[in-house]
Amino acid sequence: MIRFELSGECMPQGSKVARIVGRRIVVGGLTAVVAPRAVMVESADIGRQKRKSGALQRWRENVGAAARSEFGTGKPWECPVELSCEFVVKRPPSHWTKSGRLKASSPPFPTRPDLSKLIRAVEDALTGIVYRDDGLVVSYGAMAKRYAEAGGVGGVRVNVRRL
């Protein structure tokens, strides 16, 4: 079994979408793309998102580095595995009073980010490090997200078990 913890803001991994890139030209009032090609980008990196560009990639690299320090540099597992994760999410400032106490109206559990998208980011980060492919994750153990205690930061606790 591999176990590790990582502090930091947990990043969800959403869907990918294709963007067409290439040199754009205007012909007869219409825009055309010269030598177009599709590039896959994270849907969360498009539009008006609150997180910084590349935050998901940095999160996945940090998860991978934490796993590598626990797993070592051995060959990734080729067998089915069970994945368990507990995500800790920092409460937003709106949940606290000016005196630093938790407001009575604050929800007991986080609704965002989406748990399944948090799991997806960890699964992909462990691919090639702990297991050969994330398709080898055939079972989920305990999966949960909760708010951090007062003054606490976010993070994740991960267990990967060979089946």
| CB burial of residue 52 (10 Å; 0-12, 13-18, 19+) | exposed
Using a cut of 0.95, tell me whether the model's pTM lies above it. no
Q: Which CATH superfamily is domain 2-13+52-162 in?
A: Holliday junction resolvase RusA (3.30.1330.70)
Q: pLDDT tens digits, residue range 123-145? A: 999 999 999 999 999 999 999 99
Q: pLDDT tens digits, residue range 67-108? A: 999 998 889 999 999 999 999 999 988 898 999 888 999 998
Which is it for strands 81-89 and 2-7: parallel, antiparallel or unpaired? unpaired
